[in-house]
Amino acid sequence: MPLSDIVIRKAKTSEKPYKLADERGLYLLVTATGKYWRLDYRFAGKRKTLALGIYPDVSLADARERREKARKQIANDIDPGTAKQELKRATLAAANNTFEDVARAWLQTKHNLLPSYSEKVLRALEIDVFPVIGRRPISEIKPPEVLAMLRRIEARGVLDLLKRIRQRCSDIFTYAIAVGLRETENPVTGLNKVLKVHKSIHRPALHVRELPLFFIRLDAARISLPVKQSIRLMMMLFLRPGELRGACWKEIDLENATWVVPAERDRSRGLVGMKMKEEHTVPLPQQAVEIFRELQNYSGHGDLVFPNRNDHSKPISDGTINSALRALGYANEEVSGHGFRATAASALAEMGYRREVIDAQLSHRERSEVLGAYTHQAKYLAERRQMMQAWADYLDAIKSGATVIPFGKAA
């Protein structure tokens, strides 16, 4: 006879456990400590018992519903006891795999990042992301939650930070999907369409007409000669600041006037390789060769061209060049180390050099794979060598105070 609520309520607890049977294997186990729902069933030829909850938290109707769910699992060749344990493990794993846990694990996989940059990324997450969704299981986070978090950043008007945080979160969710911590849905996907867009601001750069005064200030500045020469080389070779700061003597062939910047350097020492992750050949004009020969008197005994004065195993800091420019009297919005690339590119374009030649020297990634392959041919390198020597001569003429007439289109 099936159980009723009245029978269950009146059942007295007892030191000696006893059972009150319902139907289809369901029964109430009454003990001295309480009343427990149980289901007896057979699976793969073995008799098993499944716990379905405690009365009165689980009512008779609830217990019967759970029984029917278990019977359906059995009918589909699923052991309900095993399924229950797997669900417990998944729930526990989800609780332990919060967004913050996964974000920290993801960051540990980014071996190509400088330690200082990793700390910067983590700090941004700690300030703007972890307080909002950091304790949520990463498997449960939905797009509206991420959007609400990003809206808070957007409201502050820091759209460049908004873009970076959105990308970092997307990377973290992609990592979670890859390692099986959430289903194949990245909740960040598409959110850029409903958020304000950060408009890139070009880095401050000087025009060639401003270079005569710049050279006067540079010569008069009370900064170390290696730093002065690093600025001259940056103007002359227009590498990115990190690429130049990490220069190693073994990369530079003064006899053949060539510097091969590797795709990667030892980031644990703060050495940055090429941004495009491809080896880059820099033809050295004679003036650059002379500067490097002079620098050998200062750092030729070590492996770095521009060693940090406090730790010779590391290069000068990323703020050294910009700090030197501030010492010359230039504000942040007037010029930066990176801006010399724009100065050279604009001037060389006006002088008639082909854009693909200039872009190759700037180490811009070509949009066309065919053109990208062409830039590595010897003829292309010869054009760049001629252009670099002409550019160095042009800078020398400006520095000497000569009347400079932009040279025409290269042959």
pLDDT at 68: 94
| From 275, 326, 354, 399, active-site residue | 275
Q: Do 261 and 394 belong together in one domain?
A: yes
Q: Where are the beta strands (DSSP E) in 44-159?
A: 46-55
Residue 317 is classified by DSSP as: P
pLDDT tens digits, 185-231 = 899 999 989 888 765 555 577 888 888 898 999 999 889 999 999 99
As a whole number of Å, the CA-based R_g of the chain is 34
| From 64, 66, 182, 341, active-site residue | 341
Signed CA dihedral, 128, 130, 136, 142: sign only: positive
We report the CATH number of the domain holding residue 40 as: 3.30.160.390
Q: Which DSSP helix (H) or strand (E) runs through 94?
A: helix 80-96
Q: Do 369 and 286 belong together in one domain?
A: yes
72 tagged catalytic: no
Give the residue-averaged pLDDT of 299-325. Answer: 89
Give the residue-averaged pLDDT of 169-195. Answer: 90
Tell me which residue range forms the domain holding 71.
5-96
CA 149 centroid distance within chain: 19
Question: Does some domain include residue 199?
Answer: no
Give the residue-averaged pLDDT of 332-343. Answer: 81
- Boundary (domain end) residue, out of 65, 96, 127: 96
Q: Do 320 and 242 belong together in one domain?
A: yes
pLDDT tens digits, 55-114 = 999 999 999 999 999 999 999 999 998 888 887 776 666 566 899 999 999 998 887 676
Token couple for 216: 């006067």
Report d(CA 264, CA 257) in Å as an integer: 21
275 tagged catalytic: yes
Q: Do 307 and 365 belong together in one domain?
A: yes
We report the CATH number of the domain holding residue 319 as: 1.10.443.10
Q: Which stretches of 196-302 are DSSP H helices?
A: 211-220, 225-237, 241-245, 286-299
Report d(CA 318, CA 261) in Å as an integer: 18
364 tagged catalytic: yes
Q: Do 179 and 234 belong together in one domain?
A: no
Question: Does some domain include residue 222?
Answer: yes
pTM of the model: 0.54
Token couple for 224: 């170390």
Report d(CA 174, CA 55) in Å as an integer: 43
pLDDT at 41: 94
Q: Do 64 and 213 belong together in one domain?
A: no
Q: Do 311 and 362 belong together in one domain?
A: yes
Nearest partner of 194 among 160, 146, 142, 138, judged by Cα = 146
pLDDT at 36: 95
Question: Does some domain include residue 223?
Answer: yes
pLDDT at 12: 92
Question: Does residue 370 register a pLDDT over 50?
Answer: no
Question: Does residue 382 register a pLDDT over 80?
Answer: yes
pLDDT at 146: 95
**Highest mean pLDDT: which of 76-80, 377-381, 403-407?**
76-80
Give the residue-averaged pLDDT of 365-380. Answer: 45
Question: Does residue 298 register a pLDDT over 80?
Answer: yes
Q: Do 243 and 300 belong together in one domain?
A: yes
Give the residue-averaged pLDDT of 320-330. Answer: 86
We report the CATH number of the domain holding residue 159 as: 1.10.150.130
Report d(CA 353, CA 268) in Å as an integer: 38
| From 232, 240, 265, 314, active-site residue | 240
pLDDT at 374: 40
pLDDT at 114: 67
338 tagged catalytic: yes
pLDDT at 404: 52
> Confidence class of residue 149 from pLDDT cuts 50, 70 and 90?
very high
CA 56 centroid distance within chain: 52
Question: Does residue 30 register a pLDDT over 70?
Answer: yes
- Boundary (domain end) residue, out of 61, 80, 96: 96
Q: Do 176 and 313 belong together in one domain?
A: no
Which of these ranges, 26-30, 170-174, 198-202, has the smallest mean pLDDT? Answer: 198-202
pLDDT at 265: 87
Q: Do 113 and 179 belong together in one domain?
A: yes
Question: Does some domain include residue 201?
Answer: no
Question: Does some domain include residue 407?
Answer: no
- Boundary (domain end) residue, out of 153, 171, 194: 194
Which of these ranges, 233-237, 290-294, 380-384, has the smallest mean pLDDT? Answer: 380-384
Nearest partner of 64 among 36, 95, 27, 93, judged by Cα = 27
Question: Does some domain include residue 224?
Answer: yes
Question: Does some domain include residue 200?
Answer: no
- DSSP state string for 320-349: HHHHHHHHTT--TTT--TTHHHHHHHHHHH
Indicate the average pLDDT of the chain.
86
Question: Does some domain include residue 409?
Answer: no
CB 176 within 8 A of CB 133: no
Question: Does residue 51 register a pLDDT over 80?
Answer: yes
| From 166, 267, 280, 338, active-site residue | 338
Question: How many domains, in total, are found in the chain?
Answer: 3
Question: Does residue 281 register a pLDDT over 80?
Answer: yes
Question: Does residue 267 register a pLDDT over 70?
Answer: yes
| From 71, 84, 269, 364, active-site residue | 364
| From 36, 298, 374, 380, active-site residue | 374
Nearest partner of 291 among 227, 340, 355, judged by Cα = 227
Report d(CA 400, CA 305) in Å as an integer: 27
> Confidence class of residue 270 from pLDDT cuts 50, 70 and 90?
confident
CB 165 within 8 A of CB 150: yes
Q: Do 187 and 233 belong together in one domain?
A: no
Q: Do 371 and 228 belong together in one domain?
A: yes
Give the residue-averaged pLDDT of 265-288. Answer: 86
CB 245 within 8 A of CB 272: yes
182 tagged catalytic: no
Residue 38: φ, ψ to 5°: -140, 155
